[in-house]
Structure 1
Amino acid sequence: MVADADGKTSPLVSLLAGGIAGGVEAACTYPFEFAKTRVQLYGHEKGVRNPFYVVAKVAREEGLGALYKGCSTMIVGSIGKDAVRFVAFDKIRSLFEDPSTHRLGTAQSIGAGMVAGVVSSTVIVTPSERIKTALIDDAKTTQRFRSPWHCIVSLFREEGLRRALYSGYVTTTLKQIGTTGFRLGSYSAIKDWERARGVRDVDGPVVSFANGAVAGTVTTLATQPFDTVKTQAQRARATGTVEAVTTIMKQDGVRGFWRGTVMRLGRTVMAGGILFTANEQATKGIKAVLGQ
Structure 2
Amino acid sequence: MSTDKSWKSFVAGATAGAIEGFVTYPFEFAKTRLQLIDKSSTTSRNPISLIYRIVKNDGVAAIYTGCIPAVMGNTAKAGVRFLGFDAIKDLLRDENGHLTKTRGAVAGLGAGVLESVLALTPSESIKTAFIDDRQRAQPRYNQGFVRGLSRMIADNGVGVFYRGLVPVTLRQASNQFVRLGSYNALKSLIQENRSDPTKPLTGTETFALGMVVGVITVYATMPVDTVKTRMQSIDARSHYKNTVDCFVKVAKHEGVLALWKGSTARLGRLVLSGGIVFTIYEKMMLLLN
Q: TM-score, normalised by structure 2?
A: 0.90
Which of residues 236, 245, 248 in structure 1 aligns to 2:247? 245
Are 2:50 and 1:48 equivalent residues in the alignment?
A: no
Q: Secondary structure at the match of 2:30?
A: helix
Q: Secondary structure at the match of 1:42?
A: coil
- What letter is aligned with 2:243? T
Alpha-carbon shift at residue 252 of structure 1 (Å): 1.8
Which of residues 63, 79, 82 in structure 2 aligns to 1:67? 63
In structure 1, the residue matched to 2:22 is: 27
In structure 1, the residue matched to 2:229 is: 231
CA distance in 1, matches of 2:80, 2:274: 17
CA distance in 2, matches of 1:17, 1:192: 20
Are 2:158 and 1:156 equivalent residues in the alignment?
A: no
Are 2:12 and 1:17 equivalent residues in the alignment?
A: yes
Contact 1:43–1:49 under 8 Å retained in 2 = no
Which of residues 207, 210, 228 in structure 1 aligns to 2:208? 210
CA distance in 2, matches of 1:150, 1:203: 45
Are 2:120 and 1:112 equivalent residues in the alignment?
A: no
Q: Secondary structure at the match of 2:36?
A: helix
Alpha-carbon shift at residue 269 of structure 1 (Å): 0.7
Alpha-carbon shift at residue 159 of structure 1 (Å): 2.2
CA distance in 1, matches of 2:38, 2:26: 17
CA RMSD of aligned residues (A): 2.0
In structure 2, the residue matched to 1:259 is: 261
Are 2:58 and 1:58 equivalent residues in the alignment?
A: no
CA distance in 1, matches of 2:57, 2:78: 33
CA distance in 2, matches of 1:151, 1:137: 13
- What letter is aligned with 1:42? I
Q: How many residues align?
A: 280
In structure 2, the residue matched to 1:290 is: none
Q: For residues 26-61 of structure 1, give each alpha carbon's deviation from its aligned partner in whole angstroms, at most 9, with x where no partner exists.
A: 111011001011110015321331111111111111
Alpha-carbon shift at residue 265 of structure 1 (Å): 1.0
Alpha-carbon shift at residue 231 of structure 1 (Å): 0.6
Larger deviation, residues 104-113 vs 245-254 = 245-254
Q: Secondary structure at the match of 1:10?
A: helix
Contact 1:229–1:244 under 8 Å retained in 2 = yes
Structure 1: segments with no counterpart, 5+ residues: 288-292
Are 2:134 and 1:136 equivalent residues in the alignment?
A: no
Contact 1:208–1:277 under 8 Å retained in 2 = yes
In structure 2, the CA distance between the partners of 1:247 and 1:63, relative to structure 1 (3 Å rule), is farther
CA distance in 1, matches of 2:150, 2:225: 25
Contact 1:103–1:192 under 8 Å retained in 2 = no
CA distance in 2, matches of 1:22, 1:266: 16
CA distance in 1, matches of 2:252, 2:18: 37
In structure 2, the CA distance between the partners of 1:157 and 1:77, relative to structure 1 (3 Å rule), is same
Q: TM-score, normalised by structure 1?
A: 0.90
Alpha-carbon shift at residue 251 of structure 1 (Å): 4.9
Structure 2: segments with no counterpart, 5+ residues: none
Alpha-carbon shift at residue 242 of structure 1 (Å): 4.8
Alpha-carbon shift at residue 243 of structure 1 (Å): 5.4
Which of residues 272, 275, 280 in structure 2 aligns to 1:273? 275
Identical amino acids, percent of aligned pairs: 37
